[in-house]
Amino acid sequence: MNRRKFLRHSATAAGLTLAPPLFADPVKTKPLFDISLAEWSLHRALNGGKMTNLDFPQVTKERYGITAVEYVNRFFKDKAKDTAYLSDLKTRCDDLNVSSVLIMVDGEGRIGLASAKERQKVVDNHKKWVEAAKFLGCHSIRVNAHGEGDTDAAKATNTVRGLAALSKFAKAHGINVIVENHGGLSSNGKWLAGVLKEVGMNNCGALPDFGNFHSYDRYLGIKETMPFAKGVSAKSHDFDKEGNETRTDFRKAMKIVLDAGYRGYVGVEYEGKALSEPDGIIATRDLLIKVREELAKDYK
């Protein structure tokens, strides 16, 4: 039994529902955007030992019909330099025809520390994930930009320095360094856009997250950061009876995304509790597909 047949047999044995891929028929027009799955959507299953990071590509395709994955480093924290592990993961993706999009990096320190020495340590901590992303075929790593300083301007300056140093290293590997609005000042769209503009490197960008503009107008934040976007995270929590997300108007958000000219991956990131992880992922996926179909007539 070859590896591809083995994977399908394993999925069936595990009781996975085989879903059709979400990509358009090759004879039809390419969709406005493609859909990926953020691994955080399955954090309860992963933390509970119901699946592993190595299972993620197979589960993504064969249960949800999604053929692109966004990893979270905490689920293979000690494997960044393990070439045997990374080779296994890459082979599984290749066998399934699943694309590796990015790695979300947490727990490696604050990229905008005030101390140059300590900031460089954080930059160095991230380098192994740049190399892992390159190995897996990702286009980016996602970092957190929580600056340190006495003022917002000082925090911005230190964050710019950290991002520039890491982006310089990543550029040599053909990898983007992208910042998610992920709490603190990074959830202020104007501040984050200013930081990225100041860095001024074409491989340093944003990962606008629909749900993480805390105490800030999310639609304004998306608009402010989209000029720098190299990914988009469709964060979801709860849904109404019509299948609409109750905190974010996905149609309004996606119009902002598309108006900015973005046509890359939009990641499903379910973080709610009312639905199970599988049901939440499916609800988010289906809403994105519905919105994509509704907006198709307005964009080429």
Asked whether the predicted pLDDT for residue 30 surpasses 90, the reply is no
* Domain at 34-298: CATH code: 3.20.20.150
pLDDT at 16: 53
By CB atoms closer than 10 A (0-12, 13-18, 19+), residue 274 is exposed
The string of pLDDT tens digits covering residues 31-70 is 999 999 999 999 999 999 999 999 999 999 999 999 999 9
Instruction: Characterize 106-121 residue by residue with b for buried, 16 or more Cβ atoms within 10 angstroms of its Cβ, and e for exposed.
Output: eebbbbbbbeeeebee
State the alpha helices, DSSP H only, in 137-188. Answer: 152-171
The answer to whether the CB of 137 falls within 8 A of the CB of 103 is no
pLDDT at 157: 97
Which pLDDT band holds residue 146 (cuts at 50, 70, 90)? confident
pLDDT at 2: 54
Hey, which bits of the chain come out as E strands? 34-38, 68-72, 99-104, 140-143, 176-180, 204-207, 232-236, 265-270
pLDDT at 4: 53
Which pLDDT band holds residue 14 (cuts at 50, 70, 90)? very low
**Closest to 278 in 3D by CA, of 22, 20, 44, 11:** 44
Give, in degrees to the nearest 5, the angle at Cα 233 between 229 and 235: 150
Enumerate the domain spans of the chain: 34-298
The string of pLDDT tens digits covering residues 107-123 is 999 999 999 999 999 99
**Closest to 44 in 3D by CA, of 273, 268, 267:** 273
Q: 147 — phi, psi (to 5°)? A: -75, 160
